[in-house]
Amino acid sequence: MSSSSRRVVITGMGLISPLGNSPEALWNALSSGISGVDLLSRVPSEHLTSDIGGECRDFTGNIADFGEVDKQLKRNIKRSLRLMCREIQLGVAAAHFAMVDATLEDHYDPSRIGTMFGSDYIITEPGEFASGVNNCLNDSRDFDFENWAEDGLTKVEPTWLLKYLPNMPASHVSILKDLQGPSNSLTVREASANLAVSEATTIIRRGSADAMIVGSTGSRIHPLRTVHVVLQEALADRNASGIDGDATKACRPFDAHRCGMVLGEGSGAIMLENLESAQQRGATIYGEVIGYGSSLVSNPDGVANYGKAFENVILGALETSDIQAGDVGHVHAHGLSSVTVDAQEATAINKLLSDVPVTAAKSYMGNLGAGSGMVELISSVLAMQHDQLFPILNYDSPDEACPINGVSSVGSPGETFLNLNCTPQGQASAVVVKKV
């Protein structure tokens, strides 16, 4: 088989999310209409415009959160944890679970397995600088920057930066799993997951690797990041009309009463593998990646044109997949619960895909940043596996400005889905997966 004709399939899945830390837990929540959104506990919220979010409450960063591991790997992970911030820990754990699920490690030369990871730009926890800042306060307790180099920086842990570099999820996964194939890191916020899948797929197709562990990790719940989001984006208020204090009702994609996105955190990872090799070793095959699209569209003044970006990636994904609009079983929408973004996304979907069923897992867990796209992709794979498409949560009053066929009860996922995501800057991405 020539490299250009190689087919790329999903043979492993792992995740850490507000809905649980396994595909089984995720599916149980989605199929039962259970939300992972609640009052924030990881950041002070009394002075924020929103006090709710989708937190990964079952993940503490302890070695026990990585499941069953052999003694040597356990020692290696425990040693590495001190050099991982929470977002990196989430990503490494999800990647480990995906590789375990794929049962791949005994079947390939490590030099033929690569790593591809997407992330947000990762912000340092303020506590990293606390001792240094405190050491630079004068008698009036004012910070004296002139003393920082000598009295402040010397109090900062020398390895602090390694805990926050966005290329570290891929680095840790490669080192811990001894993966010697191609490795890359993408920092494209919510678009990262689909772009990582796209890049990894092309790497396998051209024969540069036989398998790739592909993941994305992100968070909007962080002492500084949350403040940034509050200042830059519209957040859902649980005291708004129709929510009445119930955090689980706050995220309402495409609903007429939506009022903003919900903060979240999480990570997902999948194992991509050459179909022929996967079949030879008897691997479980969850789906095949058949197409993708990417487009950044913003106006001259820097304002994102989400509608045009979504149109471009839908058209690109259909073209690279060599399928027609009618072949798409369902769309997993970005579904941010934003008044503006939802309307533009829905218009693009309606224009190019007509009445294809649309769902949105953010309604259950909020915006996980770069982690969203991968957890959403896994959600749709699970829907095809169970032949049951989960509804958009809180989709009680469809907005006329969002002309989509939103799933409001259990539906059929079809045998092909389109996964959509977009950043606030107008960078959209898409991936098409079909059942095998």
What are the tens digits of pLDDT across the range 225-252? 899 898 889 999 888 877 888 999 999 9
Pairing of strands 37-39, 52-54: antiparallel
- Average pLDDT of the segment spanning 135-157: 93
Measured distance CA(182)–CA(180) in Å, rounded: 7
Cα(270)–Cα(433) distance, integer angstroms: 13
H/E run at residue 420: strand 416-422
pLDDT at 237: 86
Has residue 207 got a pLDDT over 80?
Answer: yes
Average the pLDDT over 123-138 and give the result.
93
The predicted pLDDT at position 34 comes to 97
Note the pLDDT tens digit of each residue in 13-24: 999 999 999 999
* Rounded Cα gap, residues 176 and 375, in angstroms: 23
The 3-state secondary structure of 254-315, one letter per residue:
CECCCCCECEEEEEEEEEEEEHHHHHHCCCCCCEEEEEEEEEECECCCCCECHHHHHHHHHH
**Residues whose CB falls within 8 Å of the CB of residue 193, separated by 6 or more in sequence, listed in order:** 118, 215, 216, 268, 370, 371, 372, 373, 374, 376, 377, 421, 429
State the Cα–Cα distance between residues 336 and 250, nearest whole angstrom. 11
| Cβ-Cβ contacts under 8 Å for 290 (sequence gap 6 or more) | 320, 321, 322, 323, 416, 432, 433, 434
Q: Give me the pLDDT at residue 400, please.
A: 97
* Percent of all residues in the chain with a pLDDT value above 90, rounded to a whole number: 87
Q: What's the pLDDT score for residue 1?
A: 39
- Kindly tell me if the per-residue pLDDT of 293 is higher than 80: yes
What integer best gives the mean pLDDT of the chain? 94
Alpha-carbon distance of 223 to 161, in angstroms, equals: 17
Q: Is the pLDDT of residue 373 over 50?
A: yes
User: Does 421 have pLDDT greater than 50?
Assistant: yes
**Cα–Cα nearest to 211, from 101, 128, 295, 125:** 101
Tell me, what's the pLDDT at 182?
97
Model confidence at 302, pLDDT cuts 50, 70, 90, reads confident
Residue 345 has pLDDT above 60, yes or no: yes
Contact present, 327 and 353 (Cβ < 8 Å): no
Q: Is the pLDDT of residue 407 over 80?
A: yes
CATH number of 8-125+162-434: 3.40.47.10
Do 219 and 92 form a contact (C-beta atoms < 8 A)?
no
pLDDT at 146: 92
Six-digit token string for 158: 């020398």
pTM: 0.96
How confident is residue 4, by pLDDT bands cut at 50, 70 and 90? low
Band of residue 133 on the pLDDT scale cut at 50, 70, 90? very high
Q: What is the pLDDT of residue 2?
A: 42
Express each pLDDT in 50-80 by its tens digit.
899 999 999 999 999 998 888 999 999 999 9
Quick one: pLDDT at residue 49?
85
